[in-house]
Amino acid sequence: QSGGGQDNSASKGRVNTHLDMLRPAIQSYGGKVDVLSVEAGKCIVHFEGPPPIGEGIKAAIKDKFPDLQAVELV
């Protein structure tokens, strides 16, 4: 582990915990989100709801977990 600071490496649990803060807003738009997997720099998320909300979820995950190369909504 390099030079201290916060460990923002992605895992299924960490991404789900991050999404817990966003879920009430997502649900208020009739949406639903669940992390299916995080491996090899790719996060796969099951999302139901308005496409702009999905894009916001992708951006929020990538911002929080810079080690992810891809976030895919299915």
CA 62 to chain centroid: 7
Q: Band of the pLDDT at 6, cuts 50, 70, 90?
A: low
The answer to whether position 61 is within a domain reads yes
The answer to whether position 6 is within a domain reads no
The answer to whether position 46 is within a domain reads yes
Query: Can you give the CATH number for the domain in which 29 is found?
Result: 3.30.300.130
Cα-based distances in Å from 5 to 2, 15, 29, 61, 62: 9, 18, 35, 19, 18
pTM of the model: 0.85
Per the structure, how many domains does the chain have? 1
Q: Band of the pLDDT at 8, cuts 50, 70, 90?
A: confident
Under the phi-then-psi rule, with left for phi > 0, alpha for psi from -120 to 50, and beta for the rest, what region is 52?
Answer: alpha
The answer to whether position 55 is within a domain reads yes
Reading the block at residue 19, the tokens are: 């999404």
pLDDT digits (tens, 9 = 90+) for 45-58: 999 999 999 999 99
Domain that holds residue 39: 12-73
The answer to whether position 1 is within a domain reads no
